[in-house]
A = this chain, B = another copy of it.
Amino acid sequence: MQRSLVDEVRSAIRNIPDFPVRGIQFKDITTVLARGPLFQRIIDHYVARYREAGVERIVAIESRGFVLGAALAYAMGIGLALVRKPGKLPYQTLRAAYDLEYGSDAVEIHQDAVLPGERVVLVDDLLATGGTAAAAVRLIRQLEGRVHEVAFLIELGELEGRMKLAGEEVYSLVTF
């Protein structure tokens, strides 16, 4: 069951050559989301993983992370918090910058998005270099949340994003 879900997701992902730039093989998950029963099984898999863990909030990273995170929060009946690009969140925010190959970027979270002591699962679709997720972890820590695990649908193993998340529990359903 577990094995077959992983295989099914892996084969449902569409490879897009040279997107967004030449030489990158993009993992397109829209072909996964298009299959309702498969999407349900994915979410239920995460629900089973976290149901007994005392998780109190899902934090989701813009914007494909919203898809997984919202369905998971709904299924678990717990609150959802959003990590977004700068300028998108309307209330008072904390900001964390992270390095890109050229330059830097940042993410924000509302200052009331996570309560002190809350046990949180951070969710995004893809673990690549890990910069965004690591910045989001810092934001959750600043709010005194406890990161139970950082969960992805897909991990690109060769990019070693786990190294940027050293010290965190990291879980990916499918690794390439």
Chain A residues proximal to chain B, CB less than 8 Å = 14, 16, 19-20, 26, 28, 30, 33-37, 39-40, 43, 57, 60, 62-64, 66-71, 73-82, 84, 87, 89-91, 110, 112-113
Contact = CB atoms under 8 A, between A and B. Distances in A.
Contacts of A33: 70, 73, 79-82
Contacts of A19: 90
A78 B29 CA distance: 15
B40 A77 contact: yes
Identical chains in the assembly: 2
A150 B62 CA distance: 23
Contact of A39 (B30, B74, B90, B110): B74
B36 A79 contact: yes
A46 to B, nearest CB: 11
A94 B26 CA distance: 19
Given A20-B90, A28-B91, A68-B70, A36 B77 contact: yes
A113 B34 contact: yes
A39 to B, nearest CB: 6
A91 B37 contact: no
Q: Which of A84, A91, A113 has the most CB of B within 10 A?
A: A91
Contacts of A26: 90
B70 A35 contact: no
Nearest to A24: B90
